[in-house]
Amino acid sequence: MRQTQVIIEPRRGLKWVDWKELAEYRDLFFFMVWRNIRTRYAQSALGIGWALIQPLFSMIVFTVIFGRLAKVDSNGVPYAIFSYTALVPWTYFANALTESTSSLVANANMLKKIYFPRVLLPLASLVARAVDFAIALIFLVVLMLWYRLYPTWNVLVIPLLVLILVLAASGLGLALTAMAIQYRDVAYAMNFVVQLLMYAAPVVYPTTLIPEPYRIWYALNPMVGVIEGFRSALLGTIPMPWHWIALGGLSSVAMVACGLLYFRSRERFFADVA
Amino acid sequence: MGDLAIRVERMSKLYRLGQKTANSDTLAGTLFSLAAAPVRNLRALRSLTRFDPARESESVVWALKDVTFDVKKGEVLGIIGPNGAGKSTVLKVLSRITQPTQGRAVVYGRVGSLLEVGTGFHPELTGRENIYMNGTILGMSKREIDGKFDQIVDFSGVERFLDTPVKRYSSGMQVRLAFAVAAHLDPEILIIDEVLAVGDVEFQQKCLKRMEEVSKGEGTTVLFVSHNLGAIRNLCTRTIVLMKGQIVCDDTPERAIKLIMGGRSSGSNNNTKGEGWQLRGGDGRVRIVAARVLDKYNVERESLVSGEDAIFEFQYVNSGVDVFDFSMIIFDSTGVAATSFSTLFNGSKIEASKKGVVRCVVPRLPLNIGTYNVGVMVFDRSTIYDHIPQNALSFNIPISVFYPTGQTPSFGKGLTLTDCIWDADSLS
Ligand SMILES: Nc1ncnc2c1ncn2[C@@H]1O[C@H](COP(=O)(O)OP(=O)(O)OP(=O)(O)O)[C@@H](O)[C@H]1O
Ligand SMILES: [Mg+2]
């Protein structure tokens, strides 16, 4: 809106991110994130406490069912913290993905009434969920102290893992939200697909349970490297799985590239189909 | 560029309409069409963004077709036209909300668009937070809002509720707050769509006043869509009439308004081909076929005398209706309703015949001098049989004998005339 001359004409084809424009809209982005955080737990008694309840209760249920009853292997650490360590990144991934997928539909009215870089909406959802992630992470530290598990120097890898996590969630989120605005089926499918997806990542079981020859394919799922990396760095379950992280990193970069390009190419229809 | 603010060149926009799906009346057919529904739905959804203008013509609509115009800096351009003419679409394309299908436009300067007041308002956020949210969405920076915050709050008059979630506001308060933010936007080009349609009269006056300030005082270029022809005439320096996506007139507000009102000043009123008749609605069981005005001597007229009896006469044909109600609205040349007449008010339904006339006799026609047109509706409870919203017929009133002096309120001071009695007493 601050440019002095804007040319409006039909554009098709691939577009990459317009960084300059994004920088101009940083205030709006900030308030979108803020609005997301402020309104998520509005008028609730527990408020931000809900950020903890979701992974915590999943952990309890998984520990009873998979840890006690099914006796799933947990690489030599207590099952509770084994699953909670995975649930911290997983919960972020699942929530960020669901929320960014619904972001365009939820703000359809805004899309139809005003111009702003459309990517801000799904990105704001991703960033806003970081608050929940941080809270769940703090509780992870508490759990580690409780179990007297101390991290190694490998914790320095965690920022990289978080980056992969965010990239994977944004890549998928961007593509899915661009689809969801035209095909509402995506929104309906999201709820249970995300639940099912959890079993495609080593959340309730260790990757070592996957037969060796398949692991390389399995690790194309960025969440494999992320979750096993978290466990290795914080709990010392297995040696740092660099190859899985590298594979996952590559595929998450590919996801972001495809997601963004797809999003940007569909962008021009959003206001019309919303 | 120089003194140009906006240049629009042969701009067109294609939209997809909903497609009718054939309904089957056999069970097997229904089951089959149910089973095929997902495929059909997918096709319909996909087609929303795929067009082949060469091949299809029924399921698409050109919301804009080859629209070309320039707007100079400081100009206040009104855009008027019937519903669905493409007015909002022009504004949406110029504010980059949607892309044109063909053509090109260049916008020189910082655009602020107000297609709605309160975009981005969230009911759970407080007034204060919503000011920031809405302000940044409209394109202000946080610093700008900080600087204008007190003014915005003052303007809105909701200080006391600033830290209350807006869901606890009355709807009027929400509108005031939203408008207060919008009023402090200072773009070089302001795009406004019909935002005056919300809010009470006081609020509308405030909006108009602010628009006048912005355009006259601050030299902002304004693009203004409204159905309020009075506002268009008062504010705009130039007006475009859009119909079915095309510009049919680009002229002074007066001429544009005249065109929209279908000012058929010459020829017989007994004319069923007028522009107003094309917008007609209703289920068609009753059809008005002719309309005219008669003076007190039962002579057909185009000009009436205010204060003398007048007769409005409508011929109709009817298929299968026993009784109906009949209403007519008299609009002045700016589209403002001067008064209405209805059998509903008198409580006298009309017994329908196969062919007939309805006459409405108005004793001492209480209208000010001016040009008027009439909209009519034939209906019964919830069913509308025939509806000609405007220009079913038009007439003018050059002189008045309503008051013995022949005087009437001067322009802008009233549309209707009412008897009154003056009295004065001295107080000791
Ligand atoms: N998103 C959309 N999808 C399909 N058709 C659309 C869409 N938006 C507008 N149209 C069509 O485009 C045409 C022009 O619409 P537009 O909203 O510009 O009308 P308008 O002149 O603003 O009317 P109004 O006075 O009622 O506001 C209409 O036929 C409308 O049905
Ligand atoms: Mg409109």
pTM of model > 0.80: no
**CATH number of residue B300's parent domain:** 2.70.50.60
A18 within some domain:
no
Please name the residue whose Cα sits nearest to atom 5 of ligand 1.
Answer: B15
A8 within some domain:
no
- The minimum-distance atom of ligand 1 relative to the CA of B81 is 21
B217 and B359 together in one domain: no
Place of tokens 């229809």: A269
pLDDT above 90 covers a percentage of chain A that reads: 77
**Higher model confidence: residue B176 or residue B274?**
B176
B254 and B204 together in one domain: yes
B194 and B91 together in one domain: yes
Any idea which of B58-67, B85-94, B122-131 has the lowest mean pLDDT?
B58-67
- The verdict on the CB of residue B85 being under 6 Å from ligand 1 is yes
Q: Which helix (H) or strand (E) segment is B173 a member of?
A: helix B171-183
**CATH number of residue B205's parent domain:** 3.40.50.300
B193 and B124 together in one domain: yes
CA A194 – CA B121 distance, rounded (Å): 30
CA A137 – CA A131 distance, rounded (Å): 10
B226 and B333 together in one domain: no
Q: What is the C-alpha end-to-end distance of chain B, expressed in Å?
A: 73
B378 within some domain:
yes
For A97, the domain range is 46-273
Give the 3-state secondary structure of chain A: CCCCEEEECCCCCCCCCCHHHHHHCHHHHHHHHHHHHHHHCCCCCCHHHHHHHHHHHHHHHHHHHHHHHCCCCCCCCCHHHHHHHHHHHHHHHHHHHHHHHHHHHHCHHHHHHCCCCCCHHHHHHHHHCHHHHHHHHHHHHHHHHHCCCCCCHHHHHHHHHHHHHHHHHHHHHHHHHHHHCCCCHHHHHHHHHHHHHHHHCCCCCCHHHCCHHHHHHHCCCHHHHHHHHHHHHHHCCCCCCHHHHHHHHHHHHHHHHHHHHHHHHHHHHHHHHC
A66 within some domain:
yes
| Closest by Cα among A166, A4, A1 to B136 | A1
Q: What is the pLDDT of residues A53-64, one digit of tens each?
A: 999 999 999 999
CA A33 – CA A126 distance, rounded (Å): 9
Quick one: tokens of A234?
């914080």
Q: What DSSP string runs through B93-137?
A: HHTTSS--SEEEEEEES-EEEESSTTTT--TTSBHHHHHHHHHHH
Q: Are B225 and B193 in contact (CB under 8 A)?
A: yes
Q: What is the pLDDT of residues B261-292, one digit of tens each?
A: 654 333 334 444 455 576 778 888 999 988 99
B105 within some domain:
yes
- The tally of domains found in chain B comes to 2
For B346, the domain range is 286-400
Return the pLDDT at A18. Answer: 86
Pick from B207, B227, B261: which residue ends a domain?
B261
B197 within some domain:
yes
- The verdict on the CB of residue B79 being under 6 Å from ligand 1 is no
Any idea which of A92-96, A119-123, B106-110 has the lowest mean pLDDT?
B106-110
B103 and B204 together in one domain: yes
B52 within some domain:
no
Any idea which of B50-59, B189-198, B219-228 has the lowest mean pLDDT?
B50-59
Return the pLDDT at B266. Answer: 35
CA A245 – CA A226 distance, rounded (Å): 7
Q: Give the distance (Å) from ligand 2 centre to CA of residue B51.
A: 23
| Closest by Cα among B259, B217, B221, B264 to B240 | B259
Q: What is the pLDDT of residues B10-34, one digit of tens each?
A: 999 998 876 666 666 777 777 887 8
Return the pLDDT at B264. Answer: 39
Q: What is the pLDDT of residues B309-359, one digit of tens each?
A: 999 999 999 988 999 999 999 998 878 889 999 999 999 899 999 999 999
B19 within some domain:
no
A143 within some domain:
yes
B244 and B299 together in one domain: no
B334 and B255 together in one domain: no
B244 and B314 together in one domain: no
Q: Give the distance (Å) from ligand 1 centre to CA of residue B244.
A: 10
Rounded to an integer, the average pLDDT of A40-44 is 83
A104 within some domain:
yes
B277 within some domain:
no
Q: Chain B contacts of A113, Cβ < 8 Å?
A: 97, 115-116, 119
pLDDT interval class at B302 (50, 70, 90): confident
Pick from B193, B228, B261: which residue ends a domain?
B261
Q: What is the pLDDT of residues B366-395, one digit of tens each?
A: 999 888 999 999 999 888 899 888 888 889
pLDDT interval class at A133 (50, 70, 90): very high
B410 within some domain:
no
- The minimum-distance atom of ligand 1 relative to the CA of B82 is 25
B131 and B256 together in one domain: yes
Max mean pLDDT range (B76-85, B170-179, B277-286) = B76-85
B175 within some domain:
yes
**Higher model confidence: residue A59 or residue A11?**
A59
Which residue from A112, A116, A268 is facing B137, i.e. has the nearest CB? Answer: A116
Return the pLDDT at B273. Answer: 44
Return the pLDDT at B269. Answer: 42
B253 and B291 together in one domain: no
Q: Chain B contacts of A115, Cβ < 8 Å?
A: 95-97, 113
B358 and B232 together in one domain: no
pLDDT above 70 covers a percentage of chain A that reads: 99
Pick from B261, B296, B315: which residue ends a domain?
B261
Q: Chain A contacts of B98, Cβ < 8 Å?
A: 268, 271-272
- The tally of domains found in chain A comes to 1
